[in-house]
Amino acid sequence: MIEKKYPVWLDVDTGVDDAAALLVASRLTQLDIRGISAVAGNVELEHTFANTRNVCALAGLHVPVYRGADKPLLRPLCTAAHVHGFDGLGGVVLPESDALVETLPAWDALYAEAVRQRGELQLIATGPLTNLAIAFSKYPDLPGLLKRILIMGGSSKEGNDTPAAEFNIYVDPHAAQAVFKCGAPLVMCGLDVTMQAMLLPDEIEAIGRSGRIGRFFRDSTKKALAFHQANGTPGMCLHDVCPVLYLTHPHLFQGQEAGVYVETQGTVTLGKTVTDLWSDFQFPAKNAFVVLDVDRSAFASLIRDLLTAG
């Protein structure tokens, strides 16, 4: 039987869990990765762009990588270097990619690919949503050309970067609002599920003993693991792997449709994704499928199998 391949585009702010998502995606034969775009987020764009290129080279992923936005639409950039290291890869230095350096801006490349895929392209975004918002502003017909958008971002309850907001949404709440309002089918993998989607230290160590890819995964996530452990989480939350595996292995996850709006005016609540999952009041439209749970053991086993395969 011929395996169905899904044309996808990845928009990332490579950091260590984005790197894990790229490695996992590169091993999933169901994915036809058409392009990758980098955005400022975990660290500055110069690092996220270089990191994305270098992780692709490590993974043997020969896919064009495009530069996107170096700052949010309206707010100053705030990074997460305290989690990902100043360089974004936990201090691990990778060999520099010798791939052609693409000069087309991310939003132009993304639009051209969406047109080429005639409604079949799925967009996975694991960083602040600035590139998507710019693309939608320049090409208003782009949301209608996308089969689905799957993001790592938001939370139906507590935040992480602030008590109310998850990092990707908090960095650029105005861009996030544009995505939640764009009308394309949307899957939100927020902290509800990604804080469950962790690998435990012994699981990481087992992957680390398996070869070059595994060693990079283990070494690059050391700092972030220590950050999680210091904050009471026993493992490394692979936030950004969730939308990737939701696309190929949806049966590992549970969730429900909801109305979701982004707070862009608040001070204490800026960047909060407000959902109607738990309220009597229901928003007029269910604009997102909010992923709430994952089979952690199966999630961890699948990642181990993918990252340790020869």
Which of the residues are catalytic? 239
Q: Does 105 bind Ca ion (CB under 5 A)?
A: no
Binding ligand RIB (rule: CB under 6 A), the pick from 130, 156, 160, 287 is 160
Query: Does residue 127 interact with ligand RIB by CB under 6 A?
Result: yes
Instruction: Name the H helices within the chain.
Output: 16-27, 45-59, 81-84, 106-116, 130-138, 142-145, 167-171, 173-180, 191-194, 201-208, 212-220, 222-230, 241-248, 296-308
Give the gyration radius of the chain's Cα atoms: 18
Rounded least distance, CB 3 to ligand RIB, Å:
28
Nearer to ligand RIB, 122 or 168 (CB): 168
CA distance 216 to 226: 16
Q: Which residues are CB-neighbours of 175 under 8 A, at least 6 positions away?
A: 72, 73, 128, 129, 130, 132, 133, 134
Q: How far is the CB of 108 from ligand RIB (least distance, A)?
A: 24
Ranked by CB distance to ligand RIB, the top (closest) residue is 167
Task: Give backbone dihedrals phi and psi of 289, rounded to 5 degrees, phi first.
Answer: -95, 115
2, two tokens? 């011929």
Q: How many CB atoms lie within 10 A of CB 210?
A: 16
- Choose the contact partner of 245 out of ligand RIB, Ca ion, none; CB within 5 to 8 A by kind: none
Q: Widest CA span of the chain, in angstroms?
A: 55
Pairing of strands 236-237, 146-152: unpaired
Q: Is 13 in the site for Ca ion (CB under 5 A)?
A: yes
Answer with the entry of ligand RIB, Ca ion, none that 195 interacts with (C-beta below 5 to 8 A by kind).
none
Binding residue (CB under 5 A) for Ca ion from 64, 88, 105, 127: 127
Residue of 11, 192, 240, 276 interacting with ligand RIB (CB under 6 A): 240
Interaction of residue 243 with Ca ion, rule CB under 5 A: no
* 159 near ligand RIB, rule: CB under 6 A: no
User: Given the structure tokens 């010798």, which residue do they identify?
Assistant: 98
- 80 is a site residue for ligand RIB (CB under 6 A): yes
Window contacting ligand RIB (CB under 6 A); options: 22-30, 159-167, 214-222, 271-279: 159-167
220 makes contact with Ca ion (CB under 5 A): no
Residues that bind ligand RIB in the complex, under the rule CB under 6 A? 13, 15, 17-18, 41-42, 80, 126-127, 152, 160, 166-168, 239-240
